[in-house]
Structure 1
Amino acid sequence: MPSLTNQDWKDLEDSIKAAALTLGYDEAVWDGNGVLEVEGKDWEELTEEQQKAAEILGMDEDDWDEDDEGLRYEDVDWNKLLPEVKDAAINFGYTEETWEGDGEIEVEDKDWDELTDSEKAAALVLGYTEDTWED
Structure 2
Amino acid sequence: MSADQSAELLGFDNVLFPVGDLGEAVGFYERAGFPVSFRLDELGLAILKVGKETPGVLLRREDGITPRTPPWPSPRVWLEVRDARAKGRALADAGIPLLAPPFSVATGWTVEIADPWGNVVGFTDYLKRPELART
* TM-score, reference length from structure 1: 0.27
* TM-score, reference length from structure 2: 0.27
- Whose strand fraction is larger, Structure 1's or Structure 2's? 2
- Whose helix fraction is larger, Structure 1's or Structure 2's? 1
